[in-house]
Amino acid sequence: MKKKHPILLGLTVLGVLLGLFLASIWVLSYFTSREDSFWGGEKIAIVEVRGVILDPQPVVEKLVKLRKNEKIKAIVLRIDSPGGGVGPAQEIHAEVKKAQKEKKVLASMGSVAASGGYYIACAADRIMANPGSITGSIGVIVESLNVEELLGKLGLRSVVVKSGKHKDLGSPLRPMTPEDRKLLQGVIDSVHEQFIQAVAEGRRLPLEKVRELADGRIFSGDQARSLGLVDELGNLEDAISLAAQMAGIRGEPEVLYPEKKRFSLFDLLIQDTVQRIVESLRESAPPLNFLYYWHLKG
């Protein structure tokens, strides 16, 4: 029988040991990054609400998962958003209220937590903001673009067949009539009142006081605190400490941060372009969108 070369045998053993070591590191990192990991005891989870709120599902699914995890004692909503669609903001708000019944929930404002971002924050037990965080903007907006004159200059004319006179309400192909505007204003007033009710309930403020502030204006975090729209001033680390205190966690809390998304070179190249396209479509294209949204246009 031919004997194996000792150097080759040594390299083989070394390779196997190195493979086992790397595999164990991967398994360890996998389990320690999971929210339902068996490592440690009571935990605080960070849930991020970032950018324009158009799709509520990722945040809702995250909240449902954390609500059912017994080791999660508190949730910190890190909000950095100017708001977005009325429906998406309300879906997240409703799920935060469900989580609040079982966990301590604290909202931490980043640079912006306005309109729909603030709507979501109101469902938390407490709200913390930086002194210069932009918040408020309690209101609703609908924007419509009319291109009828442009089409006329191009020699084009729209032809619409509809089941009722209001079926093309807000169409960019015809002027808005006084009756159209009245109908839209009625819907806006209804959705605006829902916002006011949510703020009054969440912040335990009189309805009339909220109505005085609900004209779309923005506030700094410091101004919002003086008005009762925010509880305390502080950054994310301060929010984590307060959440641990609220949940009765002794000592340094174990914090589960959101998993970092791994970007490919392709993602890095197109991310900004895609964001601009989506934003452009949101602002200019039909159908009408009812928005809890704040945008500083320049």
What residues act catalytically?
A: 115, 167
Report angle CA 48, 49, 50 to the nearest 5 degrees.
105
**Token reading at 79:** 């909000």
HSE at residue 84, side-chain half, CA atoms within 13 A, is 22
Rounded to a whole number of angstroms, the distance between the first and last alpha carbons of the chain is 83
The conformation of residue 141, written as its DSSP 8-state character, comes to: B
HSE at residue 171, side-chain half, CA atoms within 13 A, is 15
Q: What are phi and psi of 72, to 5 degrees?
A: -85, 115
* Per-residue b or e along 105-127, where b marks 16 or more CB atoms closer than 10 Å to that residue's CB: bbbbbbebbbbbbbbbbbbbbbb
HSE at residue 239, side-chain half, CA atoms within 13 A, is 31
The conformation of residue 70, written as its DSSP 8-state character, comes to: T
255 within 8 A of 240, measured Cβ to Cβ: yes
**Token reading at 95:** 């799920």
Using DSSP, state whether 232 is helix, strand or coil: strand
**Token reading at 257:** 């941060």
